[in-house]
Amino acid sequence: QVKLQLEVRVNKNYDLFRAILYRTQVVAGTMYFIKVQVADTEYVHLKVLVGLPPENECPALVNFQTCKTKDDPLDYF
């Protein structure tokens, strides 16, 4: 659900968009840190917020890091 948000922000389309790893942090909702494979050897790290009910906000792309590799640790950012 955040693929389009990322593509708009980086002005690039991704044919491959596969979540490989994620972590969560409870805030005013849930913050997800997600490692996504976007090419054979290219990865991006996403920071996605899902709000609490009753608003139940759609997932929102808060931040991202590009030019990551498979071996880069998925740290909080």
Phi, psi of 4 (to 5 degrees): -60, -40
Q: How high is the mean pLDDT of the chain?
A: 92
Give the dihedral sign, CA 57/28/2/5: positive
Q: What is the pLDDT of residue 56?
A: 63
Summarised one tens digit per residue, pLDDT across range 7-39 is 999 999 999 999 999 999 988 889 999 999 999
Amino acid at site 51? G
- For 30, residues 6+ apart whose C-beta sits below 8 A from its C-beta are 24, 49, 50
Q: Looking up tokens 């494979």, which residue turns up?
A: 37
Q: How far is CA 55 from the centre of its chain?
A: 21
